Amino acid sequence: MSSESSKKRKPKVIRSDGAPAEGKRNRSDTEQAIEIEERRIQSCVHFMTLKKLNRLKGRDQTHEAKQKVDAYHLQLQNLLYEVMHLQKEITNASGVSSKHEEIDLVSLEEFYKEAPPDISKAEVTMGDPHQQTLARLDWELEQRKRLAEKYRECLSNKEKILKEIEVKKEYLSSLQPRLNSIMQASLPVQEYLFMPFDQAHKQYETARHLPPPLYVLFVQATAYGQACDKTLSVAIEGSVDEAKALFKPPEDSQDDESDSDAEEEQTTKRRRPTLGVQLDDKRKEMLKRHPLSVMLDLKCKDDSVLHLTFYYLMNLNIMTVKAKVTTATELITPISAGDLLSPDSVLSCLYPGDHGKKTPNPANQYQFDKVGILTLSDYVLELGHPYLWVQKLGGLHFPKEQPQQTVIADHSLSASHMETTMKLLKTRVQSRLALHKQFASLEHGIVPVTSDCQYLFPAKVVSRLVKWVTVAHEDYMELHFTKDIVDAGLAGDTNLYYMALIERGTAKLQAAVVLNPGYSSIPPVFQLCLNWKGEKTNSNDDNIRAMEGEVNVCYKELCGPWPSHQLLTNQLQRLCVLLDVYLETESHDDSVEGPKEFPQEKMCLRLFRGPSRMKPFKYNHPQGFFSHR
């Protein structure tokens, strides 16, 4: 009987699509699953018991247990149906919404503060949420009517203003030709008063087509010239049309395609370019410069001008510079001054270690590997030097620790380095021109000493300079008495090397000079070798070491007035004085007949001191005597 009723009564399953009901159903399904699992375990136990009872008591007890299970299953289905029905009712009730809920009403505090009493009705609405909502809706309607009226007034005012703008546009369009004619008529006046407004306007129009780094340089250099250095001249050179063409998208034409197809048939017999030619084309494309460049002319006090031309390499995203120095009067170039004003080295190491032979952008090395470029130094004569200070003037910064994917030109970086760099450039030109003039005298055996530095030396100096020549870096490295400087790492390939020969009688003093590009901020370094009664250097004669200390360590006494451009010649003059003291204080051999080769003419308080018999090399002004340090 129970089995027939279970067949007739099938459980009803009602599905609901509502999200809240589905969540509750999931929870109920979980609980049911747990209950079913427990029932399943119990049924297994009962099944084992049933088998036992079947063996013991037979099929009647088995049938009775099955009826109990069916009854429990039926109760479970009824409970599930009731749960699903309740979930559906909850979903339907929660889905009902009103239109006023979509309106963003003002807050209650603002409503009771701004709404008039006849609308707010605080005594009624404060305790009744329904009346409160109706009052807030009435206040919203009142505000929207007021805003709609204001909107119509604004539209009418807008139409009036647009009509006034049209009238003024017509006036301005008619005014432009008149202004152009006035500007053309004022050009002679601008030239006479040195106020080139028209030229400056054209420069700014051209500057719009500069790449970002060159634009930053142009703006900051112009601003610095207007504020700090009126003699600084900034100009833009190059083809504006080519610069405009860089930003135009390529035009695809069907005629070009048909022409190329026709030419293909004619060129089938031609040879394809070799791999070397293709690499050359890729290198040229990678090292391509922007059509526009920025020129800076720095004028110094002696009317000399440093011409700087800045370029931008588009594919490498770096800037380069070429330099040229011109003077008011034509200079006679001494042989030893050949590299002083050379465009390749005049700006080398403006900042310490910045020789401008390597690219500052770490990403360029990977680009070079693709086209077979070993180093950028092979192309600097053609492209210019990519100094680090050039990148900073253009607002470019390439961090080595955390490389950036795209480097953006920064105005603040350029402005922070502009003044310091301009001063260093002027100082470099003035020091090189001063060395240029001094070398012309040194090659003729004359050590020029200015009147401001005469007090540093005694009135009579017998030793004289007989030779001043330039020395190659490799030759300097091979000199036996310069080993200390080489081992100390002071003989870099960016330095300039010279050899001076000072004579007095049979004594000859060789001085190997290392001139740092940062002269006179960085003093020259001297290494000495005296040929008299044998060869004497700092390794076998303490007095030679002391002479080197006088010019290398005590160089500040020889700097003279700022900016110390006479330091090198003062050091050479001091060497002549030191050689006189060395020779005059040398003890005379009584076994040799005849007068003393180097009679003592310098006044010394004490000829020797200590077991090493050190000589008095310090000159005391104005007393005019020599003493020990």
Would you list the domain boundaries of the chain?
106-195, 199-245+278-430, 445-588+595-627
Residue matched to tokens 């003002």: 106
pLDDT of residue 595: 66
Which is it for the CA torsion 61, 67, 70, 71, positive or negative?
A: negative
Which strands form 625-627's sheet, in the order they lie side by side? Answer: 603-604, 625-627, 618-620
CA 499/CA 514 separation, integer angstroms: 9
Token readout for 349 is: 């190491």
The residues pairing with 236 across neighbouring beta strands, listed in sequence order, are: 294
Where would I find the beta strands (DSSP E) of 377-483?
464-470
Segment holding 276, helix H or strand E: helix 275-286
Give alpha helix (H) positions in 57-128: 59-94, 108-114, 117-120, 122-125
Phi-psi region of 505 (alpha: psi -120 to 50; beta: other; left: phi over 0): left
10-residue block means of pLDDT along the chain (629 residues)?
43 46 70 88 86 70 82 93 91 73 82 86 85 88 92 94 93 83 73 63 85 93 90 91 77 48 51 69 90 93 90 93 88 75 88 89 88 87 93 88 68 92 92 90 91 90 93 92 91 91 94 92 93 91 93 91 89 94 80 69 85 89 87
CA 363/CA 500 separation, integer angstroms: 45
- By the 10 Å C-beta count (0-12 exposed, 13-18 middle, 19+ buried), 14 is classed as exposed
Task: Give 344's Cβ-side CA count (13 Å radius).
Answer: 11
For residue 286, give the nearest of 318, 263, 249, 310 by alpha carbon.
Answer: 318
pLDDT of residue 392: 93
106 in Cβ contact with 136 (< 8 Å): yes
pLDDT of residue 410: 85
210 in Cβ contact with 319 (< 8 Å): no
Convert the pLDDT of each residue in 372-430 to its tens digit: 888 888 888 899 999 999 999 999 988 876 555 567 888 899 999 999 999 999 999 99
The residues pairing with 194 across neighbouring beta strands, listed in sequence order, are: none
**pTM score over 0.85:** no
CA 313/CA 285 separation, integer angstroms: 10
Segment holding 426, helix H or strand E: helix 411-442
Segment holding 501, helix H or strand E: strand 496-504
